[in-house]
Structure 1
Amino acid sequence: MLFVNTRPQDRAAALTAALSQQDITVFELPLLELQALKLSPELYELYRQLPSAQVIVVVSPTAVEVGMQYLQQTGIQLEELSHIQWIAVGIKTAQVLEKYGIQALIPEVETSEGMLQLPCLQKLPQGSRITFWRGEGGRQFMMQQLQAQGMHILNFVLYQRQCPPMCQTLMPLLAKKIQENLAYTVLISSEASWLNWQALWQNQPEIIKKAHYMVLGTRVAKLLQQARQQQQADFQITRLDTLHPTTILAHLRLEKGKA
């Protein structure tokens, strides 16, 4: 069994180790690379408004680290934000926030949809200020939903996401691994990951069409379902509510049992 771990390089290790211990062959192909953006005058002005927010949504460990670095540079103390409710997209992000003494809420389902179900967001009055610490292009859906509910969004774009150049080097190695395995599973954790995966293999569409995809969240799963229909493909899609290794292992064992 071949598993393609597409998580960013700094987040892939735990999953790779857990699967490897169960004799699953893992190939790491990080489809996203995160790079901090400069502290621009526009971003500086957003930081000055931060104490007026009711909620801060932090979408990744990188958003925590870059956000805190710039918080220090703008001279704002965490004590000034003690009245604010922090929300982390998942356990890893919450753990990084804990290093700064912040206890964040975590949704049961680690997606935008899961965060929108949190009672603290549903009970906010219209006009409340909700801050997003995020990457370029991320969490658009969640911000749009909250804006439609009358919330005021402070949009902190802290880093950009790109397909790592190393992917081009790794593609021939992965193609060879795929040829050697009867079945392979690809982890897709975001829309950006899916777009990058398709772009990489646009000249080898059979690799896209023959994969089994494990996909985080309902929205991204729907994107793959639409692509499957448009491409007239029959690839299998398994929706995940979390990227925890035990959850992924359980689904892999289930698929192995069906084979």
Structure 2
Amino acid sequence: MLFINTRPQARAQELSLALAQPDIQVLDFPLLELEACAWSTDLQGLYQQLPKASCVVVVSPSAVEFGMAGLQLSGLTLQDLQTLQWIAVGEKTAQALAGYGIQSHVPEVETSEGMLQIPLLQHLSSSSCVAFWRGQGGRQFMMETLQQQGVSILNFILYQRRCPTQTMQNFGQVVAQLQQHQSYSVLISSEASWLNWLALMQSHQRLFAHGHFMVLGERLFQLLLKAQKQQHLEFHLHLLSDLSTETILQCLRAMPRNA
């Protein structure tokens, strides 16, 4: 069984090591890398408004890293944010915040929809203000939903995503491996990673038919279903409720033995 781990390099190692079993061949192939956005007067202005927010939604461990670096550049300290409540997209992000002495609310399901079910967000008044520490293109659905409810948004775009240069250079070797397997599985954890995979596979669409795509959350699942219909692609879809090693392993074991 060939499993393609597309997580960013810093987040991939733990999963790849856990899945390195006799019946699973793991290929690390990051579809995203993260780069801090340049410091700007816009970011400075957002940080100055931050103490007035009701809560901060932090979308990844990287958002913690980049957000805290920006906080230092802004001249503010965590002491200035004592009245804020913090929401982490999942346990890894919560652990990163805990490293700064911050306790956070964590959703039961690690998706935008799951985060919107957190009681703190369910009971916001229309005069509330919510800050988002995020990357370019991430969590727009969540922000738009809150804005429709009248909530003000402080939109911190702290980093940008791109397909790693080495990934693009090595893709020919990956295609050769895909051709050697009757089927393969790919972890897709974001819309950005899916779009990068689509772009890379543009000249190899026949290989989609052998693919089992493991996707995080219902919204991303529906996005891939839509792509199947619009682009006439054939592939297998598997819905993940979270990105824990055990959940991914259970999904892999439920696939046909020749996967």
With the length of structure 2 as denominator, give the TM-score of the two structures: 0.97
Post-superposition shift, 1:255? 1.0
Q: What secondary structure, in the 3-state scheme, does the structure 2 residue paired with 1:18 have?
A: helix
1:35/1:159 contact within 8 Å kept: yes
- 3-state SS of paired residue (1:12): helix
CA distance in 2, matches of 1:9, 1:233: 28
**Residue aligning to 2:12:** 12
Retained in 1: the 8 A contact 2:184–2:212?
yes
Per-residue CA shift, 1:193-219, capped at 9, x if unaligned?
Answer: 110000011011112343110000111
Relative to structure 1, is the Cα distance of residues 22 and 131 closer, same or farther in structure 2, using a 3 angstrom cutoff?
A: farther
Q: Which stretch of the first structure deviates more once superposed, 180-189 or 148-157?
A: 180-189
Q: Assess if the C-alpha contact under 8 Å between 2:32 and 2:163 holds in 1.
A: yes
- 2:241 counterpart letter in structure 1: D
Q: Which position in structure 2 is the counterpart of 1:190? A: 190
Query: How much has 1:104 moved relative to structure 2?
Result: 0.9
Question: Which residue pairs with 1:253 in the alignment?
Answer: 253
Whether contact under 8 Å (2:209, 2:235) holds in the other structure is yes
2:258 aligned with 1:242: no
Matches within 5 A, 1:1-259: 1-21=1-21, 23-256=23-256
SS of the counterpart of 1:214?
Answer: strand
Contact map agreement 1:198 1:208 (CA 8 A) in 2:
no
- In percent, how many aligned pairs have the same letter? 54
> How far apart are the structure 1 equivalents of 2:230 and 2:54?
42
> SS where residue 76 of structure 2 aligns?
coil
Deviates more, 1:248-257 or 1:138-147: 248-257
Write the distance in 2 (CA, Å) between the matches of 1:159 and 1:206. Answer: 34
Paired residue secondary structure (1:159): strand
**Which deviates further from its counterpart, 194-203 or 73-82?**
73-82
CA distance in 2, matches of 1:258, 1:111: 30
Rounded Cα–Cα distance in structure 2 between residues aligned with 1:256 and 1:204: 23
What code does the residue aligned with 1:152 have?
S
| Inter-partner Cα distance in structure 1 for 2:34 and 2:257 | 37
Count of matched residue pairs: 259
Amino acid at match of 2:226: Q
Q: After the TM superposition, which parts of structure 1 deviate over 6 Å for at least 4 consecutive aligned residues?
A: none
Contact 2:2 2:24 in 1 (8 A): yes
Q: Distance in 2 between matches of 1:12 and 1:23?
A: 19
CA contact (8 A) 2:182 2:210 kept: no
* C-alpha RMSD over aligned residues: 1.3
User: Per-residue CA shift, 1:41-90, capped at 9, x if unaligned?
Assistant: 01101100000000100011111111101111212121221111100111
Unaligned runs of 5+ in 2: none
SS at structure 2 position matched to 1:242 = coil
